[in-house]
């Protein structure tokens, strides 16, 4: 479990996140939603150990989150900095050299499922192809936690559908946790266990999809709009 207690983060005295208290359980797919600038990317980077909180504590399985134990977390950023002269296969070999948990056989299987040409240079990939490659290289790591920042942004519906199928096929619902930020709630809702909503640097709601459907009698998008109006 990842636990955040009174976590705040600022940039140039501007609050990006303010007094965040969260518990992220194991074995769940959690959607992270909110308007642009609400702090979604920052929250994911804090939980991945990429940046450090100004205040509060972040614990990973009861231990303070550090660069050392953050190796059990795979992070998919909203942009990529892959070497353009690499082919997909070169990228896999690079990840294998950097991460002891990288399963190149699994990554190759995911790439085949997502129809990624690993012989092709990344500089020639379309945005959709890059999105598929990012998903393959991220899920190729055998870790308990996957944090994904807008993995479907700007991609056409067919690519989004294949990425969603890949998430389900190549992760273990019992032992692995996925937290992903997205604006494509209608498409992602069927696979989500819970939805976390940010507004104005704060968590304003965190409910399971079961609660949203049964108690609120709403779909995820309607629930999100109501929470925003209520807040």
Q: Where are the domains of the chain?
A: 2-230
Rounded CA-CA distance 224/212 in Å is 10
Q: Under CATH, which number does the domain 2-230 receive?
A: 3.40.50.300
pLDDT in tens, 21-53: 999 988 999 999 988 888 999 999 999 999 999
Write down the pLDDT at residue 74: 95
What is the band of 231 on the pLDDT scale with cuts at 50, 70, 90? low
pTM of the model: 0.92
Closest CA to 17 of 203, 212, 227: 203
**Percent of the chain residues topping a pLDDT of 90:** 62
């Amino acid at each position: 479990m990842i636990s955040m207690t009174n976590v705040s983060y600022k940039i140039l005295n501007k609050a990006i996140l303010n007094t965040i208290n969260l518990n992220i359980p194991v074995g769940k797919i959690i959607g992270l939603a909110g308007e642009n600038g609400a702090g979604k990317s920052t929250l994911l980077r804090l939980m991945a150990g990429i940046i450090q909180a100004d205040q509060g504590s972040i614990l990973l399985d009861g231990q303070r989150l550090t660069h050392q134990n953050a190796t059990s977390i795979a992070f998919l950023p909203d942009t990529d900095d892959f070497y353009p002269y690499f082919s997909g296969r070169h990228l896999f070999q690079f990840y294998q050299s950097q991460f002891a948990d990288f399963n190149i056989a699994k990554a190759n299987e995911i790439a085949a499922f997502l129809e990624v040409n690993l012989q092709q240079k990344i500089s020639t990939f379309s945005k959709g192809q890059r999105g598929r490659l990012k998903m393959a290289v991220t899920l190729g790591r055998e870790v308990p936690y996957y944090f994904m920042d807008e993995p479907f942004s700007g991609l056409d519906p067919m690519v989004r559908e294949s990425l969603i199928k890949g998430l389900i096929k190549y992760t273990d619902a019992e032992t692995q946790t996925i937290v992903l930020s997205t604006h494509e709630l209608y498409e992602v809702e069927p696979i989500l266990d819970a939805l976390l909503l940010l507004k104005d640097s704060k968590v304003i709601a965190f409910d399971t999809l079961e609660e949203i459907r049964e108690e609120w009698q709403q779909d995820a998008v309607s629930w999100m709009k109501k929470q925003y109006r209520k807040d």
